[in-house]
Amino acid sequence: MVYFYYGPPNWVFSMFAFVGFLATTIPLPWHLEAWNTGTCLYMIWTALACMVFFVDSIVWSGNIIDWSPAWCDLSTHFLNGFNLAIPACSLCINRRLYQIASVRTVTKTASDKRRAILIDLAIGLGLPLLQIPLQYIVQGHRYNIFEDVGCLGETYETPVAIVLFHLPPILVGCVSAVYCVLSIKSFYHSRAQFKELLSSNKNLNLNRYVRLMCLASTDLMFTIPLAIWTLWVNVKVVGISPWISWADTHSNFSRVVSVPGIFWRTEPYTVASLETTRWATIACALLFFGYFGFADEAIKNYRTAFNSVAKRMGYSTATMSSSGVLSSGSNSKYPPMNSHGRTATLPVFIRKETAQKRDSFDSFSDMSASFGALDYVDKEKSLTGTGPTASFGAISLGDVGGMLPTTRRATIPPTPPPDHRRRDEIEISSLHRSSAYIVPPEPAHTRTGAAPDVPLPIHPHATDAADIV
């Protein structure tokens, strides 16, 4: 039976490659602010590798045409450097974590910080860039094109290739593992003092320290075994050729080998090598986002970015109802909600009565609005019952005319004589006043038996039956 690898559709990998690119570029700005050199280099290398595999999976989907030799030259050299970039970035992270866990003070001068950044750049950027010319020494021909995969570099497997290309990731990973073990040991031996040291570092707290340590440890758990497995496949399966000379290794160097999918999918070791190279890169991106994409500082930056975008679109996100629906501020047709889910009300300002004509809010035609504000302004005055009744002390008076007139103290400044042309305009704004300006009517005296009822007080300016209560 002939082996043939089908695997998921190529568009699935393209989608995950693009997601990996976004997952490592979105958190980059606030990591740059903290000057975590190893973390930032990890993100940049992984994001660029995801973008390279994303482009290759689209351009060479279902074909092996050499569309862009310049792109293939650039991308293959970059991927050769990426072969050492992840272990080198993990070494930078573990080395920094060990320095933080082992020292007794975090006070550093500007020159010390600058020196630390330069060392991290030499490890996380210099070593991968150095890997590119070293790989060229053992490069058998220009590059290979695999259907659905894209351009990949070619290494002529000789003892020199093992030393220059396959062993560096293993050695760097081992050094990083030593730093990782030492940092974990120092962390558990002096946790109390360690928390005190981190409290004085504004760019690194305990949660971020633990996440960085988990990220670097997880990378080591996969980097070293994969590097050893790749070396074993090249030695036992592919075979080692003797190193003869530079000319022999680079003979016919300009050729490009194109491999259709029907061929490479029938070779189990080729399938394992190609798919592991592609999907391991996406795993590095998703692993980083899993550790740092849901942290407190990440959520805070997501909220800030969302509010900024909403503000540019004309929406306000300052208030939110208890149901989680954002209000659109003054542009919304719905009333704003406070934090308890109740409708917010505007402040009420009490002013003295003047002879000026009231606006429509205080007019008789807007009686319902004035009654609605009574509950919020005059708590000591309330309308009880289901009918049109106003309560004053121990008696209840039926409102037969529409609104109860109010009387005021004589101590307020006198007002101009009333205009008889406006006698039918009954002012109800006095209901919004404080109870200090209201003098309750004389209590009604009632007797049992057939005695006639005592007439109710009549407003001094009432002229028709509508003003009599």
Q: How far is CA 197 from CA 71, 216, 449, in A?
A: 48, 21, 91
Q: What is the pLDDT of residue 24?
A: 92
Most confident of 290-294, 369-373, 384-388: 290-294
Contact 310, 316 (CB under 8 A): yes
Quick one: what percent of the chain has pLDDT higher than 70? 61
Residue 341 has pLDDT above 60, yes or no: no
User: Is 436's pLDDT higher than 60?
Assistant: no
Residue 78 has pLDDT above 70, yes or no: yes
Q: What are phi and psi for residue 438, nearest 5 degrees? A: -110, 130
Of 291 and 161, the one with more pLDDT: 161
Contacting residues for 259 by C-beta, under 8 A, at least 6 apart:
64, 144, 145, 146, 147
At 156, which amino acid appears?
Answer: Y
CA neighbor of 143 nearest in space, from 10, 52, 215, 22: 52
Contact between 280 and 45 under an 8 Å Cβ cutoff? The reply is no
Q: In one letter, which amino acid is 443?
A: P
Task: Report d(CA 191, CA 187) in Å as an integer.
Answer: 6
pLDDT digits (tens, 9 = 90+) for 44-74: 999 999 999 999 999 999 999 999 999 999 9
Highest mean predicted confidence (pLDDT) among 18-32, 98-112, 404-418: 18-32
| pLDDT for the residue numbered 415 | 54
* Most confident stretch, 2-16, 37-51, 209-223, 345-359: 37-51
User: DSSP label at 337?
Assistant: B
Look at residue 27 in the predicted model and tell me its pLDDT: 85
- Please provide the average confidence, as pLDDT, over all residues in the chain: 73
Residue 127 is predicted with a pLDDT of 95
Q: Which of 401, 395, 374, 396 is nearest to 386 (CA)?
A: 396
What is the distance between the alpha carbons of residues 408 and 18, in angstroms, rounded to a whole number?
76
Per-residue pLDDT at 449:
46
Kindly tell me the burial class for residue 443, based on how many C-beta atoms sit within 10 Å of its own C-beta (0-12, 13-18, 19 or more): exposed
Q: Residue 58: exposed, middle, or buried by beta-carbon count in 10 A (0-12, 13-18, 19+)?
A: middle
Where is average pLDDT lowest: 69-83, 363-377, 438-452? 363-377
Better-predicted residue by pLDDT, 184 or 140: 140
pLDDT reported for residue 31: 76
Banded model confidence at residue 107, pLDDT cuts 50, 70, 90: low
In this structure, the number of other CB atoms found within 10 A of the CB of residue 56 comes to 25
DSSP secondary structure, 244-293, as one string: --HHHHTTTTT-EEEE-HHHHTT-HHHHHHHHHHHHHHHHHHHHHHHHHT
Per-residue pLDDT at 336 exceeds 70: no
- Could you give the CA distance from residue 240 to residue 243 in angstroms, rounded to a whole number? 9
Residue 28, CA distances (Å) to 25, 158, 203, 288, 289 in order: 5, 39, 14, 11, 11
**Which of 21-30, 71-80, 346-355 reaches the highest mean pLDDT?**
71-80
**CATH 1.20.1070.10, the chain: domain bounds:** 10-312
What are the pLDDT digits (tens) for 82-96?
Answer: 999 999 999 999 898
Q: Give pLDDT, residue 292.
A: 81
Does residue 193 have a pLDDT over 90?
no
**End-to-end CA gap in the chain:** 105
In which band, very low, low, confident or very high, does the pLDDT at 426 lie, cut at 50, 70 and 90?
very low
Say whether pLDDT at 294 is over 80.
no
Q: Is the pLDDT of residue 131 over 90?
A: yes
Question: What local confidence, expressed as pLDDT, does residue 263 receive?
Answer: 92
**Percent of the chain's residues with pLDDT above 90:** 36
Q: How confident is the model at residue 366 (pLDDT cuts 50, 70, 90)?
A: very low
Please give the Cα distance from 398 to 400 (Å, whole number).
6
For domain 10-312, which CATH number applies: 1.10.340.30, 2.30.30.40, 1.20.1070.10, 3.30.465.10?
Answer: 1.20.1070.10
The pLDDT tens digits for 378-390 are: 343 344 444 444 4
Kindly tell me if the per-residue pLDDT of 300 is higher than 60: yes
Confidence of residue 114 (pLDDT cuts 50, 70, 90): confident
For range 414-439, the mean pLDDT: 48
State the CB neighbour count (10 A cutoff) for residue 450: 5
Q: What is the pLDDT of residue 109?
A: 78
Q: What confidence score (pLDDT) does residue 57 get?
A: 95
pLDDT at 202: 57
Across 155-164, 286-295, 305-314, least confident range: 305-314
